[in-house]
Amino acid sequence: MFQSTDPRLRARDTFLVIRQPLGAMVVDANGELITILNEEDCHAWKLKSGKLVIIPKPKQPKINRVLPELISDYGDLMNQVAITTISKAKITELNGQLVATNRWLPAPVPVTDFMNDVPAVPNDQVDLAWFKQTPEQIYVRQYYPAALPANLVADSQLDLDLHGQTVAVVVGQSQDHEIYEQLVAQYHGVAKVVEGFSTTKKWLIGQLQSADLVIVITAFASHATTWSTRDLIKKLAIQKYAVVTKNKANGAFVRALYRAEHQLPAYETPHSQIEYPTK
């Protein structure tokens, strides 16, 4: 049974992160589970096993701060969750089948083993993870689409005018707020950055109901907030809505603005046929 005497972990509202193939467990000094974080949260906060996080209200889990130090001695708990990770495995075609390859993988892995419903294509990349004791069960931590089609243009070229509308940008606590504000202002809109790790619907309603457009950056917003936002968009009858998935490039954000303003499909994929007119 894990039990820590490290004074840092004994501090108030301070808990230990134990990474999983997807997401992470958060435990206290006695090894008791406090909450489970999704992969989006782990990616946004750059969490790894041994990190200490501050969660003021464990019953309503929301990370307030990640401490810079690591705890390395947490005994048998680490052995129970030993994980292998592979970064940026490339998807290629081999004998008519899509496979993920990487010099650290012992053999090409068929993407059907882990990609589920994601329409992977050659040259896409993935971050993979699995428990060492069950290498046959592979999980995708991050999915990186290949270069977008030629009809997707740079952000500074789009023919778009927001005419002073308010844009609610649902994103993490400190992820490039000023950049999003500048990009919205560039197209004559007013940005309203919304904390992407809140799970309180009442709070979200207050943030979204005055917005003309809503853009969600799913890579930097919690899963719970993303789903709550989708529900509220329907309830509040917000017609102008778009999503940026696992890509914080400025061009992807501005294209989302264009889709929202013109009420086009919320999501963009490598196979999207949406035309983005230029100035």
Q: State residue 242's pLDDT score.
A: 92
Taking only the tens place, the pLDDT of each residue in 45-86 is: 778 888 888 888 766 666 767 777 677 665 556 656 788 888
**What domains can be seen in the chain, in order of their start residue?**
14-80 (no CATH), 83-144 (2.40.50), 155-261 (3.40.50.2300)
C-alpha–C-alpha distance, residues 218 and 267, integer Å:
11
Kindly indicate the confidence band of residue 150, based on its pLDDT and cuts at 50, 70 and 90. Answer: very low
Summarize the confidence of residues 179-201 as an average pLDDT. 81
pTM for this predicted structure:
0.53
Rank 40-49, 156-165, 263-272 by mean pLDDT and report only the highest.
156-165
Kindly indicate the confidence band of residue 149, based on its pLDDT and cuts at 50, 70 and 90. Answer: very low
Q: Which has more confidence, 262 or 183?
A: 262
pLDDT at 183 over 80: yes
Q: State residue 214's pLDDT score.
A: 94
Summarize the confidence of residues 188-201 as an average pLDDT. 78
Summarize the confidence of residues 133-157 as an average pLDDT. 67
Q: State residue 262's pLDDT score.
A: 95
Q: State residue 240's pLDDT score.
A: 94
Rank 36-40, 101-105, 200-204 by mean pLDDT and report only the highest.
101-105
Summarize the confidence of residues 79-106 as an average pLDDT. 85
Kindly indicate the confidence band of residue 133, based on its pLDDT and cuts at 50, 70 and 90. Answer: confident
Position 66, amino acid: V
Taking only the tens place, the pLDDT of each residue in 204-256 is: 888 888 899 999 887 777 667 777 888 888 889 999 999 887 655 678 888 99
Q: State residue 116's pLDDT score.
A: 61
Q: State residue 153's pLDDT score.
A: 44
**Residues 115 and 140: beta-carbon distance below 8 Å:** yes
Ramachandran angles phi, psi of 128, nearest 5°? -115, 155
- Using alpha carbons, select from 191, 221, 194, 190 the residue that is nearest to residue 208: 194
DSSP letter string over the chain? ------TTTTSTTEEEEEE-SSSEEEE-TT--EEEEE-HHHHHHHT--TTEEEE-S-TTS----EEEEEE----THHHHHT-EEEEEEEEEEEETTEEEEE-TTSSS-EEGGGT-TT----TT-EEEEEEETT-TTS-EEEEEE--SPPTTPPPGGGB----TT-EEEEEE-SSSSHHHHHHHHHHTT-EEEEEETT---HHHHHHHHTT-SEEEEEGGGS-HHHHHHHHHHHHHTT--EEEEE-S---HHHHHHHHHHHHTT--S---TT------B-
Distances from the Cα of 158 to the Cα of 140, 259, 263, 275, angstroms: 33, 11, 16, 10
SS (H, E, C) 131-155: ECCCCCCCEEEEEECCCCCCCCCCH
Q: State residue 117's pLDDT score.
A: 58
